[in-house]
Amino acid sequence: MPNIYIRQQCQNMIHTIQIFEQACVSAAKRDDGKISKDEEAAINRIRKASEKHIKSLAKIANES
């Protein structure tokens, strides 16, 4: 089991990734208020990569 400080850093990074995803959605809407098909495709790729990274960090944080 990783120590408490490693677990906390994993949780911090998970939250940072979630905030990053939200910021990307906001950025996509910023120029014209809408999300174009290209922007939606980019956001989907970001979400997919984020989910994978979050799962990896959660696994590390919860190892026993």
Report domain extents, the chain. 4-61
CA distance 3 to 60: 11
CA distance 8 to 51: 18
CA distance 31 to 47: 21
CA distance 43 to 49: 10
pTM of the predicted structure, to 2 decimals: 0.86
Q: How confident is the model at residue 63 (pLDDT cuts 50, 70, 90)?
A: confident
pLDDT at 28 (0 to 100): 95
pLDDT in tens, 19-61: 999 999 999 999 899 999 999 999 999 999 999 999 999 999 9
For residue 42, report the phi and psi dihedrals to the nearest 5 degrees.
-65, -45
